[in-house]
Amino acid sequence: MTTDTEIPAVTGPRTAAPEDTRLSGRARLVLFVLCAAQFMVALDFSVLNVALPVLGRDLDLSPSALQWAVTAFTLPSGGFLLLFARIGDLYGRKRLFLTGLAVFGAASVLATLAWNPAAFLTGRALQGLGAAAIVPAGMSLLTTTFPEGPLRDRALGISGMLLSLGFTVGMVLGGVMTDTLGWRSTMGLLAVAALAVLVLAPGLLGESRTPERPRLDVPGAVTVTAGLLALIYSLSTAAERGFGGADVRAALVAGLVLLAAFAVVESRSAAPLVSLPMLRRRTVAWGNFGGLVTFSMMSTVIFVLTLYLQETLGLSSFLTGLVFGVQGIASVLAGSLVPRFVGRFGARRTLVGSLAGQGLFTAALLAVGPESGALVATVAVSLGSMCHLGAIISYGLTVTSGVPDEEQGLATGLVTTTQQVGLTIGIPLLGVLATTRVPLFDGVRTVLAVDAALVVGAALLVAAGLRRRKA
Among 103-117, 208-222, 297-311, 433-447, the range scoring the smallest mean pLDDT is 208-222
Looking at residue 471, what is its pLDDT? 40
Amino acid at 471: A
Nearest to 77 by CA among 221, 232, 224: 232
Residues 6+ apart with CB under 8 A from 45: 73, 74, 166, 167, 170, 423
User: Does residue 62 have a pLDDT over 70?
Assistant: no
Q: Which residues contact 210 (CB under 8 A, 6 or more apart)?
A: 89, 90, 405, 406, 407, 409
Distance CA 413, CA 397 (A): 13
pLDDT at residue number 9: 34
Does the CA dihedral 423-424-426-427 come out positive or negative? positive
- 232 vs 388, which has greater pLDDT? 388
pLDDT mean over 123-140: 88
pLDDT for res 6 = 32
Confidence of residue 410 (pLDDT cuts 50, 70, 90): low
Comparing CA positions, the residue from 90, 75, 122, 79 lying closest to residue 103 is 122
Give residue 358's pLDDT band: very low, low, confident or very high (50, 70, 90): very high
What type of residue sits at position 217? D
Answer whether residue 129 shows pLDDT above 80: yes
In Å, how far are 36, 162, 224, 320, 388 from 326, measured between CA atoms? 21, 15, 38, 10, 15
Instruction: Give the chain's mean pLDDT.
Output: 79
Residue 64, pLDDT > 70, answer no
Asked whether residue 26 carries a pLDDT value surpassing 60, the answer given is: yes
pLDDT tens, residue by residue, 246-268: 888 898 899 899 988 888 887 78
pLDDT in tens, 221-244: 788 778 877 887 787 677 666 677
Name the residue with higher pLDDT: 216 or 100: 100
Instruction: Tell me which residue of 283, 446, 425 sits closest to 362, measured CA to CA.
Output: 446
Average pLDDT over residues 346-356: 91
- Alpha-carbon distance of 179 to 177, in angstroms, equals 5
Whether residue 467 has pLDDT greater than 70: yes
pLDDT of residue 470: 45
Residue 239 and residue 431 in contact, taking contact as beta carbons nearer than 8 Å: yes
Q: What is the mean pLDDT of residues 135-153?
A: 76
Q: What letter represents residue 158's amino acid?
A: I
Q: Which ranges of 47-66 would DSSP assign to H, the alpha helix?
A: 52-59
Burial class (CB in 10 A: 0-12, 13-18, 19+), 285: middle
Helix pair 25-46, 117-145: axis angle to 10 deg: 150
C-alpha span between 383 and 464 (Å, rounded): 25
Per DSSP, 388 falls in state H
Overall average pLDDT of the 334-360 stretch: 87
* pLDDT greater at residue 364 or residue 262: 364
**DSSP codes, 161-217:** HHHHHHHHHHHHHHHHHHHHH-THHHHHHHHHHHHHHHHHHHHHPPP---SS-PPP-
Mean predicted confidence (pLDDT) in 60-77: 72
Give the residue from 87, 93, 108, 86 showing the smallest Cα distance to 30: 93
Start-to-end CA distance of the chain, whole Å, equals 14
Q: Does the pLDDT at position 357 exceed 80?
A: yes
Whole-prediction pTM = 0.70
- Which of 73-87, 124-138, 325-339 has maximum average pLDDT? 124-138
Note the pLDDT of residue 11. 37
pLDDT digits 0-9 by tens, 168-225: 677 677 767 777 788 888 889 899 989 998 998 888 777 766 666 666 777 877 887 7
Taking the C-alpha atoms of residue 267 and residue 422, their distance in angstroms, rounded to an integer, is 25
* Identity at 251, one-letter amino acid code: A
Q: What Rg value do the Cα atoms of the chain yield, rounded? A: 21
Q: What is the pLDDT of residues 412-465, one digit of tens each?
A: 667 777 877 777 677 667 766 666 666 778 888 888 999 999 999 999 999 998
Q: Peptide bond before 439: cis, by omega within 30 degrees of 0?
A: yes
Residue 363 has pLDDT above 90, yes or no: yes
Share of the chain above pLDDT 70, in %: 79
- 356 or 403: which carries more pLDDT confidence? 356
Q: Give the residue-averaged pLDDT of 89-111.
A: 89
